Amino acid sequence: MERSGDIGDLFGAGDNAAADDDAAAKGSKKAAKSMSKKPAKSTAKGDKAATGRTKDSYTANDIEVLEGLEPVRHRPGMYIGGTDERALHHLAAEILDNSMDEAVAGHASRIEIELDADYRLTIRDNGRGIPVDPHPKFKDKSALEVILTTLHSGGKFGGDAYATSGGLHGVGLSVVNALAEQLVVEVCKDKKLWTQTYERGKPVTALTDGGSVSNRRGTSVAFLPDPQIFGAGARFKPSILFRMARSKAYLFRGVEIRWSVDAKILKADDNTPETATLHFPGGLGDYLDSLLKTRKTLTQTPFAGEATFPNGAGRAEWAVAWPVDEDAFFNSYCNTVPTPQGGTHELGMRGALTKGLRAYGELTKNKQAAKLQAEDVVGGADIMLSVFIRDPQFQGQTKEKLSTADAQKLVENSVRDHFDHWLSASPEMATALLEHAIERAELRLKKRDDKQTKRQSATRRLRLPGKLADCANSTRDGTELFIVEGDSAGGSAKQGRDRKFQAILPLRGKILNVASATADKMRANQELNDLIEALGCGTRDRFIADDLRYEKIIIMTDADVDGAHIASLLMTFFYQEMPELIEQGYLYLAMPPLYRLSQGGKTMYARDDVHREKLMETEFKGRGKVEVSRFKGLGEMPPAQLKETTMAPANRTLIRVTVPGSHTDDEKIEAKATARLVEQLMGKKPELRFNYIQEHARFVEDIDI
């Protein structure tokens, strides 16, 4: 399993703040005695007398049934992908998607988004309003209460209320309700106002008749995320919400979105406006123009358009440009829902552009066009694609990847027809684009021929016994390099690895903090030299991604403060010296366990104290004595356990380290904020770290000392 974590968020976690002060981190060693046995308190006394069970028995009494919205609060990650900042803002996306569905269906023309001083978010539309009459199956409840308190309930299953929609599973609004400290819903329907208040998914008031209203219709949802789920310091970010609102307005040209945020919560360096009216009649074309601005492109005009699929299957809208700088991106959406992991609609777009340009080459007797592949045509392009289809199939509730098989053919056929006409209408532009794609193809083929990397030579150059334990694969496809701390951890990792594709590079203690070190110190540091040579891709302006010798670079450190400190130093090194390695998705953090819990034949592992307590309350609750062992470090773990929990792809959890993009103004602002944060926490000025600690100390709940 893999998760993503922005490098700014990872640095802002707190453990990594004092980069040049080891004293606090070293205190954790006193608490982490080598596999110290700590039996948990047993609740098994009297179990047998009360239930007739022994401590090792497994009966019907052990089976729990979660009802209503309990599963959401028990396992929020299943519904919103976690409890981090990204998951927090997914709550806003769920409510906004409901309003967008009303707009796309033609029933709403306006959406309002307000963020108050207390970070309460309100989203209202002028659509039809959620039904408030009694539900035919639950006659003692209104349809509104059923939707808010019952998973898999809604009006988007049968296809009559909505032709296309982003909501599919009937869980969006109910999940937000379950994870909100308080939620107030207002419905204006048939010139009447109805209100109801909920707390943590449960109604605290009845559906109340607020009297008659005129010139108002639709649904309003105001809520506060629950700090019990997301943490006491969790807050909506105005910049993220505004970017979300603006992207929705671009995606559907028939909606007007009105944005407002209380000025008190806007930071000095945040250029998010207090109020804005977002409406873009040109749709995706307007959006692409705003991104390109003064950037030069291969073609005078972008390839933009829209098409309706046959038999009422939906429609597509797109905008494509080929900038000379090849600073590329592919942003895709389905029913206004972002699909950052792509899917079948993206495959259809790639196929349409590739086959269309290849066919144009054949038409103009250019034999070189036959070698074109998708990466040659779309690799350097800026692409926006939005599709609206009936009953789309996504992977998971967070809807990050479209899996509807028909979408590929629908998009490819529709876009291909328009692309063929676009190329034929301007032979000069088409020829320039074709020649550019052929150049990319020739470069790709040359790199493929040179891809065989001599791994043995790299091992010989290190000449450090016990250092780089390389893998057997002759190419980097599927290979992984684990960077571990110390020879002890390196020994366990070498024994637990899969020699075919996993390599191990042990480092001696904490590496140099490159953010505060001089160039001479960096050149003289043997650990950094070993790492750079093992990777083989160079640094800074000499960085060549194709020369990287491994497909994944995994930082694997102990699950304590010392380990977090070393991981922060390594992330700083990659961020400063090899930023492209992070941008292209090669860098990961391993998640080794801190505790081992065992009872009889059952053994489970916990990442931290919170996870340990959660397992005690769920997996081992009321089942007798549980033996809890704390790992001092990776070197103390038996190789088999290290492989099972941290290294085997089938079982492990990896966090992919990410950085903000640089395509939009907002992303550029976030990138600058990340750079400032790294400098603040890891740079040469300790007073900046001191100020950061003072400012954020109130959010700390647990200190590992």
pLDDT tens digits for 84-129?
898 999 999 999 989 998 998 889 999 999 999 999 999 999 999 9
Q: What's the confidence (pLDDT) of residue 24?
A: 32
The answer on pLDDT for 175 being more than 70 is yes
Least confident of 67-71, 196-200, 305-309: 67-71
Asked whether 525 and 558 are in contact (CB, 8 A), the reply is no
Given the residues 112, 558, 666, 670, the one annotated as active site: 558
Phi, psi dihedral angles at 102 (to 5 degrees): -65, -40
Given the residues 346, 420, 485, 636, the one annotated as active site: 485
The answer on pLDDT for 31 being more than 60 is no
Asked whether 425 and 365 are in contact (CB, 8 A), the reply is no
DSSP secondary structure string for all residues of 254-306: T-EEEEEE-GGG--TT----SEEEE--TTTHHHHHHHHHTT--BSSSS-EEEE
Mean pLDDT of 458-476: 67
Is residue 15 among the annotated active site residues?
Answer: no
The domain over range 73-237 is classified in CATH as 3.30.565.10: yes
Is residue 190 among the annotated active site residues?
Answer: no
The answer on pLDDT for 28 being more than 50 is no
Phi, psi dihedral angles at 323 (to 5 degrees): -70, 150
CATH of 284-449, one of 3.30.230.10, 3.40.50.150, 3.40.190.10, 3.20.20.70: 3.30.230.10
Q: What's the confidence (pLDDT) of residue 254?
A: 85
DSSP secondary structure string for all residues of 463-526: --TTS-B--S-SSSTT-EEEEEEHHHHHHHHHHHS-TTTEEEEEE-SSPP-TTT--HHHHHH-H
DSSP count for the chain of H helices, then E strands: 26, 24
Q: What's the confidence (pLDDT) of residue 67?
A: 67
Q: What's the confidence (pLDDT) of residue 56?
A: 59
Cα distances from 457 to residues 243, 501, 507, 533, 611, in angstroms, run 48, 18, 20, 10, 44
Asked whether 349 and 415 are in contact (CB, 8 A), the reply is yes
What does pLDDT average to over the chain? 83
Q: Do domains 73-237 and 284-449 have the same CATH topology?
A: no
Please say whether the dihedral angle defined by the alpha carbons of residues 140, 142, 146 and 149, taken in this order, is positive or negative: negative
Asked whether 132 and 187 are in contact (CB, 8 A), the reply is yes
Given the residues 317, 560, 644, 670, the one annotated as active site: 560
Residue found by looking up tokens 């190329």 in the block: 423
Q: What's the confidence (pLDDT) of residue 8?
A: 58
The answer on pLDDT for 429 being more than 50 is yes
Q: What's the confidence (pLDDT) of residue 495?
A: 93
Is residue 562 among the annotated active site residues?
Answer: yes
Pick the more confident residue, 521 or 39. Answer: 521
Least confident of 44-48, 204-208, 319-323: 44-48
**What is the CATH number that goes with domain 462-592+656-699?**
3.40.50.670
Q: What's the confidence (pLDDT) of residue 200?
A: 94
Pick the more confident residue, 50 or 294. Answer: 294
pLDDT tens digits for 553-577?
999 998 888 888 899 999 999 999 9
Q: What's the confidence (pLDDT) of residue 625?
A: 87
Pick the more confident residue, 600 or 185. Answer: 185
Mean pLDDT of 274-299: 90
Q: Is 43 helix (H, G, I), strand (E, B) or coil?
A: coil
pLDDT tens digits for 586-639?
999 999 998 999 988 888 998 888 889 888 888 888 767 899 988 878 888 889
43 burial class (0-12, 13-18, 19+ CB within 10 angstroms)? middle
Is residue 289 among the annotated active site residues?
Answer: no
CA angle 650, 654, 656 (to 5 degrees): 135
Query: What amino acid occupies position 135?
Result: H
Domains of the chain: which residue ranges?
73-237, 284-449, 462-592+656-699
Quote the CA–CA distance of 145 and 202 in Å, as a whole number. 9
The answer on pLDDT for 684 being more than 60 is yes
In the numeric block, which tokens belong to residue 511? Answer: 């590496």
